[in-house]
Amino acid sequence: MKSLFKKLSFLLLTIFLTSNISAQVNADYDKSTDFNKYKTYSLEGWAKNSDQLLNPFDKQRITDALKSELESRGITLVETGGEIAVTLYLTIKQATDYTAYTNFNGGMGYAGRWGYARGIGMGMGSASTNVSETNYNVGTLIIDMYDSTSKSMIWQGDMTSDIETNASKRDKTIPKKMSKLMKKFPVAPLKS
């Protein structure tokens, strides 16, 4: 029983510690494609000018994270003519989160003053609710990969996540979220 409790505790701790990397990821790919044959890729750019939604630093963070993930799988970036053509697309939407806190105050209290009318008194209880509204941005990054020869799509991955407002935190979260997405890629990282 203690062993089961330890395992459940470890699982809950792991979920709690990794919850800050919360990103919804999805991927689909052409099951008939042999992904192991690809050794190079070229970045064909951002679709529909979606890169204008990003500052140059975040663009670099995203492309560096993708490059790192693909290189760990033996697929190297080349300027032009890669065996895989990669396009990126980004959307950003504003979302609102509402949080309500209710404080309840019971109607009991001590009554009495200088020896007169001692005892406990009862009265009406009261409750107050405070509602706070938080606006934040949610970004969706879509990565499309095409076979450069056949021009057919071979893989698509998308990731939706809250956008971190702190730049130094984005340095850490973007690679972690990209790693989570690329776990859906058919080729696993090479063992060092």
Q: Is residue 105 part of a domain?
A: yes
51 plus 88 within the same structural domain: yes
pLDDT computed for residue 128 by the predictor: 82
> If 0-12 CB within 10 Å is exposed, 13-18 middle and 19+ buried, where does residue 153 land?
middle
Q: Is residue 118 part of a domain?
A: yes
Query: CATH code at 176?
Result: 3.30.160.670
- Residue pair 160/121 in contact by the 8 Å Cβ criterion: no
Side by side, the strands of the sheet bearing 84-105 are: 24-29, 153-162, 126-147, 84-105, 40-46, 76-77
- Residue pair 160/23 in contact by the 8 Å Cβ criterion: yes
- Residue pair 84/43 in contact by the 8 Å Cβ criterion: no
Q: Which residues of 22-34 are buried (b: 16+ CB within 10 A; e: fewer)?
A: ebebebebbeebe
pLDDT computed for residue 15 by the predictor: 38
Range of the domain at 120: 100-130
Which residues are registered as beta bridge partners of 140? 91, 160
pLDDT computed for residue 71 by the predictor: 97
pLDDT computed for residue 12 by the predictor: 36
Q: Give me the number of domains the chain comprises.
A: 2
Q: Is residue 142 part of a domain?
A: yes
pLDDT computed for residue 1 by the predictor: 54
Per-run averaged pLDDT (10 residues), the chain, 192 residues: 47 38 89 96 88 87 96 96 96 89 70 57 72 90 97 97 89 94 95 78
91 plus 106 within the same structural domain: no
Q: Is residue 63 part of a domain?
A: yes
118 plus 67 within the same structural domain: no
